[in-house]
């Protein structure tokens, strides 16, 4: 099997070059081609010696995934369904809005958190994505942009629990944010987590500037236990404390995501309890009107119920925004494309890996 360029480092590539009798400085050139010049194949790297391009092509691959589906929605949202080298599938999305170009990437194949309303976790987690597979999603989407356009934002809000795949995720994000990667600002990266307190504290201790979004979805332990089963193990209170700790250490305001489910967590008393919980914190609430998943018994609240919820939370002095739904026509949300594809073409049976 060929070695995946993005799963290794410039030093590892340099060592291989030395072994093959080439100067190691070509490693920097190769990564420059991939990150800056959008090369997807060694044969296009025109300033490398021809023999070296051939040697690379024999032993290495730039991308380890291939594009199985490329959907473009009427609103311009683009979604890629990628097949990994083991046949597993992941999805990632590019959204364009005014001067923003945002990519949303997956962190795992499937998800082990089991949030009851979410399509990604229906079959559990299959495996973590590698550093290279994470970086690759960003580069493949970036390469869809017209020449000269740059990505402005990166969110880890696709399939999977981001902080359950901690080291590869941080390695990938750090690389993307480094000058030898895409030179992306850490503050333009959002890591969304179900709320794993120990991992949130570990992230705080790294002293990065990544923006943290915590999927709260309920203002009380009881309701959160029902919607986010992992809460029975971690507890809402510790999630909030870890979010506070992240804010104090990084200085970055934490966002709390709140999926609004009709008749379940959208009542005025839920809004009021949420407002009370977050009132004295420098926090922001991002309300996500539910994107219905076929086969699951949840519904999106009416626009009126959404407005009412927001105004009660805001009335408590908490900053709130409502997330716009993008790319609905192409199943762009949350593990849905992979799932609808699976009906047509069942995925290989695989043992789950935590």
Q: Indicate which single residue of 259, 273, 285, 312 sits in contact with ligand SAH (rule: CB under 6 A).
A: 259
**Pattern 204-243, ligand SAH, x by CB under 6 A:** -----------x----------------------------
* Radius of gyration of the chain, Cα coordinates, nearest whole angstrom: 21
Q: Does 293 bind ligand SAH (CB under 6 A)?
A: yes
Q: Is 162 in the site for ligand SAH (CB under 6 A)?
A: yes
337 lies in the binding site for ligand SAH (CB under 6 A) = no
Q: Which residues pair with 96 in a beta bridge?
A: 101
d(CA 77, CA 96): 7
Site for ligand SAH in 44-103 (CB under 6 A): none
Residue with tokens 């005025």: 268
Count of residues of this chain found to bind ligand SAH when the rule CB under 6 A is applied: 19
Q: Is 161 in the site for ligand SAH (CB under 6 A)?
A: yes
CA distance 327 to 330: 6
Q: Distance between CA atoms of 323 and 330, rounded to whole angstroms?
A: 17
Cα distances (Å, whole numbers) of residue 329 to 159, 172, 296: 18, 30, 18
CB of 82 to ligand SAH, least distance (A): 17
**How far is 25 from 290, CA to CA, in rounded Å?**
50
Catalytic residue among 61, 78, 91, 257: 91
Interaction of residue 118 with ligand SAH, rule CB under 6 A: yes
At closest approach, how far in Å is the CB of 48 from ligand SAH? 39
Look up 98 and say whether it is catalytic: no
Handedness of CA 47, 49, 50, 53 (dihedral sign): negative
Q: Round to whole Å and give the CA distance between 169 and 173.
A: 6
Q: Smallest distance, Å, CB 293 to ligand SAH?
A: 5
Distance, CA of 83 to CA of 70 (rounded, Å)? 12
Of 17 and 230, the one with the shorter C-beta distance to ligand SAH is 230
Q: Is 177 in the site for ligand SAH (CB under 6 A)?
A: no
Judged by beta carbon, residue 5 or residue 333, the one nearer ligand SAH is: 333
- 76 near 96, Cβ under 8 Å? yes
- Shortest CB 291 distance to ligand SAH, Å: 3
> Of 194, 239, 277, 320, which lies in the binding site for ligand SAH, with binding defined by CB under 6 A?
194
In angstroms, the Cα distances linking 143 to 7, 27, 34, 123, 150 are 19, 21, 10, 31, 9
H or E element in which residue 68 lies: strand 66-72
Region of 57-65, 171-179, 283-291, 313-321 interacting with ligand SAH (CB under 6 A): 283-291
334 noted as active-site residue: yes
Give residues in contact with ligand SAH (CB under 6 A): 113, 115, 117-118, 157, 161-162, 192-194, 215, 257, 259, 288, 290-291, 293, 333-334
Which residues are known catalytic residues?
91, 334
């Amino acid at each position: 099997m060929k070695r995946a360029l993005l799963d290794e480092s410039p030093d590892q590539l340099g060592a291989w070059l030395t072994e093959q009798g080439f100067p190691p400085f070509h490693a920097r050139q190769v990564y420059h081609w991939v990150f800056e010049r959008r090369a997807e194949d060694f044969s296009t790297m025109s300033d490398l010696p021809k023999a070296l391009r051939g040697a690379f092509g024999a032993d290495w691959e730039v991308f380890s995934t291939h594009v199985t589906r490329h959907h473009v929605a009427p609103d311009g949202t683009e979604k890629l369904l990628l097949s990994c080298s083991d046949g597993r599938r992941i999805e990632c999305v590019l959204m364009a809005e005014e001067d923003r170009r945002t990519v949303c990437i997956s962190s795992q194949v499937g998800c082990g958190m089991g949030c009851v309303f979410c399509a990604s976790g229906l079959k559990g987690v299959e495996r973590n994505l590698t550093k290279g597979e994470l970086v690759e999603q960003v580069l493949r989407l970036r390469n869809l942009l017209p020449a000269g356009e740059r990505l402005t934002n990166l969110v880890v809000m696709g399939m999977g629990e981001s902080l359950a795949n901690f080291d590869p995720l941080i390695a990938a994000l750090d690389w993307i944010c480094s000058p030898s990667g895409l030179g992306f600002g850490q503050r333009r990266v959002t890591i969304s987590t179900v709320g794993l307190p120990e991992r949130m504290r570990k992230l705080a201790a790294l002293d990065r500037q990544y923006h943290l979004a915590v999927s709260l979805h309920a203002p009380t332990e009881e309701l959160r236990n029902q919607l986010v089963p992992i809460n029975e193990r971690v507890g809402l209170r510790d999630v909030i404390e870890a979010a506070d700790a992240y804010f104090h250490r990084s200085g970055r305001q934490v966002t709390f995501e709140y999926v609004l489910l009709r008749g379940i967590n959208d009542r005025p008393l839920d809004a009021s309890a949420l407002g009370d919980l977050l009132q004295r914190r420098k926090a922001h609430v991002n309300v996500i009107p539910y994107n219905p998943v076929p086969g699951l018994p949840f519904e999106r609240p009416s626009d009126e119920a959404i407005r009412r919820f927001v105004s009660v939370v805001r009335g408590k002095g908490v900053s709130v925004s409502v997330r716009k739904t993008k790319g609905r026509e192409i199943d762009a949300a949350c593990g849905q494309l992979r799932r609808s594809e699976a009906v047509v073409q069942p995925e290989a049976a695989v043992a789950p890996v935590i």
